Each structure stands twice: as structure tokens, then as C-alpha cells.
Structure 1
Amino acid sequence: MMSLAGLALYLVFLGLFLYALYWVVNRAVLHALRTHHDEVRTGATPSGSPRPGG
């Protein structure tokens, strides 16, 4: 059975990993939303999508 110190260390590393994962995903989502907002604002269409009415 894992000792109390080992369990605490495991939980700390698990928490750090989950926080890092959250930070990376959060930055990626915010960047995607910002890019999409800029495309919508300037009237640009994403690459590969057909232009409406064209």
C-alpha cells in the first residue's frame, strides 16, 4: 500500500498535470475564438469553406 507521503506526492503531481493541461487547452481555445472573431469582423471566410452566394 502506498504511504501517505507517496499518496500526497502523487496527488500533487496529478494536480500539476491537470492544471498544465487546463492552461494549454484554455490558451488554444481563446486563440481560436480570437482568430474566429477577427475573421468574422473582417468578413474573411475560413480556408477550405465555400463562399456564400459565390
Structure 2
Amino acid sequence: MSVETVVEVIMAIFIPPVGVLIRYGCAAEFWICLLLTILGYIPGIIYAIYVLVKD
């Protein structure tokens, strides 16, 4: 993992949509993460970390 990915994952732990927004912009991944974070903070974190480390 690069330093860039580590920073994104750290952001995803504290504010999940921001971590995804940094990498993908306002794509579908961001909106899904935002919705999951609104519905429950933990699902938002799990999804954000999954999306960021799958590449």
C-alpha cells in the first residue's frame, strides 16, 4: 500500500465519505458510502475501507 492509500484509509475511518471522495470524486462509490454512513456509521466505514483497498 502506498502512502496515499494509507491517508485515504485513515480519512475513511474518521469520515468515510471524505476518504472515498478523495479517490473517486462524486462517483457512485461516494454516494453509496454517504448513504451507508447516514444509515449507520459502521457500514459506511466498512464500505469505504473495502472500496479503497480493493484496487
Is TM > 0.5 for Structure 1 vs Structure 2? no
Q: Which protein has greater RCO, CA pairs closer than 8 Å, 6+ apart?
A: 2
Higher gyration radius (CA):
1
Structure number having the greater helix percentage = 2
TM-score (norm 1): 0.29
